[in-house]
Amino acid sequence: MERTIWDVARQQFFEAAELTDLDDDLKEILSQCNRDLTVRFPVCMDDGSIRVFEGYRVQHNQARGPTKGGIRFSPEVTLDEVRALAMWMTWKTAVVKIPYGGAKGGVICDPHNMSLGELENLTRRYATEISIIVGREKDIPAPDVNTNPQIMAWFMDTLSMRSGFSDTGVVTGKPVEIGGSLGRLDATSRGCLYVAEEALRERGETLEGKTVAIQGFGNAGSFAASLFARAGARVVAVCDSQGGVYNSSGLDVDRLMRLKQESTTMAEYPDGDRVDPKQLLEQPCDILIPAAVEDQITEANADRIQARIVVEAANGPTTPEADRILNERGVTVLPDVLANAGGVTVSYFEWVQDLGSFFWDEERVYRELKRVMTAAYRDMSAELARLQGLHGPRINHRQAAYVLAIQRVARATQLRGIYP
Ligand code: NAD
């Protein structure tokens, strides 16, 4: 049987758990998802027909608080993928020490071939279907691949209609006019920037003049391009699912942003060599930012990655085999559970602001985000040093982040006890 991304997530968990003193019962608890909800629901399409869609909401673990995780709309969504993403959310929220567990949702659909009205109908019906397990103190969704602030607004409105009041805390990533947080749009990329800067600082280096290649030019990838460029790096390659461009002298990020606004593919950027999404990963650069989908850096291409640092803006872009190859080659992989945690961290700030009905300025959001991301990086780095002292250089950054997270979730589970 073909290995799924859920198998990968469990393999990563078990390998890291081996480095802890967790007993087998706790490993068994943490290696499973607590709840998997599958829903099938009808949606009225513009031509008057009715189509039945399948969607999921999975909650991996609630030991440290309500569950949290995005919703993805894509033809490729599977229950196993959503399970893996939910588990990764548990480790991510624990790495950055915010009081949440992990969840994720998805609907099998092709949003690029649906009208706005059809997308709204689908969102509202999916929100209603999963409302039996979501709620501001239970499970709080957010945007992910192909979902955005408008979709979160429909989600919030739908659940508010059911509650009879404006239930802003039920979802994050909303537009600022209706309870969203300033700084949420670029939070994932900003978090990537802060951890990359920390990793360089540890080596006595800065971002100034470093070359960057980015796979994926959506929310995470496009803001990463502009933030890394503004911080002094040179963006030399970008792509989206249709292709992209490489130019060793650097790309004009404002021009890339304009192409994106015009809904044009990055492959249309005029000055440079065409690259496809796989080739992008192998371009010469100091820093590679996978910001698209899972399973991109594998044993088939890991030995051709030229970057010295990989910053995982995407979830699950690197397989365990590729992790080993990159580690042996001295390439630092800043793992997804740390590197892209800026998104969920500002989502947490949004939720705190909604519950308190008191909103922060942008400067405060950035300051608090930097504090959380820097502390998480340093905790991971200290754990890496401890583990390498015990087991040698085969231990990588991902394992250190996992061990940190697993121990925090295990401790919460032990303190709460097993009910009844
Ligand atoms: P998005 O839908 O805004 O953008 C996805 C981008 O990836 C698009 O440019 C798309 O064309 C491109 N893409 C899709 N498949 C590709 C492929 N095979 N090769 C190259 N490019 C491809 O999604 P996003 O929100 O930017 O999410 C991207 C990744 O970041 C996902 O793994 C997501 O889980 C992760 N992430 C996002 C957030 C967030 O706040 N948005 C937070 C944490 C993690």
pLDDT digits 0-9 by tens, 299-332:
999 999 999 999 999 999 999 999 999 999 999 9
pLDDT attached to residue 207? 98
Report the residue among 226, 240, 259 best suited for mutation to probe ligand 1: largest number of ligand atoms under 8 A from its CB.
240
Q: Confidence band (pLDDT; 50, 70, 90) for 263?
A: confident
Mean pLDDT of 179-184: 97
pLDDT tens for 222-239 read 999 999 999 999 999 999
Report the residue among 72, 74, 241, 246 best suited for mutation to probe ligand 1: largest number of ligand atoms under 8 A from its CB.
241
**CB of 239 closer than 6 A to ligand 1?**
yes
> Class for domain 5-9+31-178, per CATH?
alpha beta
Please determine, for residue 343, whether its predicted confidence score (pLDDT) is greater than 90. Answer: yes
Give the span between the Cα atoms of 291 and 289, in whole angstroms.
Answer: 6
pLDDT attached to residue 242? 95
DSSP assignment of 208-259 equals TT-EEEEE--SHHHHHHHHHHHHTT-EEEEEEETTEEEE-TT---HHHHHHH
All CATH 3.40.50.10860 domain ranges of the chain, comma separated, are 5-9+31-178
Mean pLDDT of 49-59: 98
Give the residue whose CA is nearest to atom 16 of ligand 1.
241
Q: Which residues does 112 contact at the CB level (< 8 Å), separation at least 6?
A: 146
For domain 187-334, give the CATH number: 3.40.50.720
Burial class (CB in 10 A: 0-12, 13-18, 19+), 205: middle
Give the residue whose CA is nearest to atom 4 of ligand 1.
218
**CB of 214 closer than 6 A to ligand 1?**
no
Q: Confidence band (pLDDT; 50, 70, 90) for 1?
A: confident
Name the residue with tokens 């943490």.
30
Mean pLDDT of 354-374: 98
**CB of 315 closer than 6 A to ligand 1?**
yes
| Residues annotated as part of the active site | 104
Q: How far is the CA of 152 from the centre of ligand 1 (A)?
A: 17
All CATH 3.40.50.720 domain ranges of the chain, comma separated, are 187-334
Question: Model-level pTM?
Answer: 0.97
Q: Confidence band (pLDDT; 50, 70, 90) for 216?
A: very high
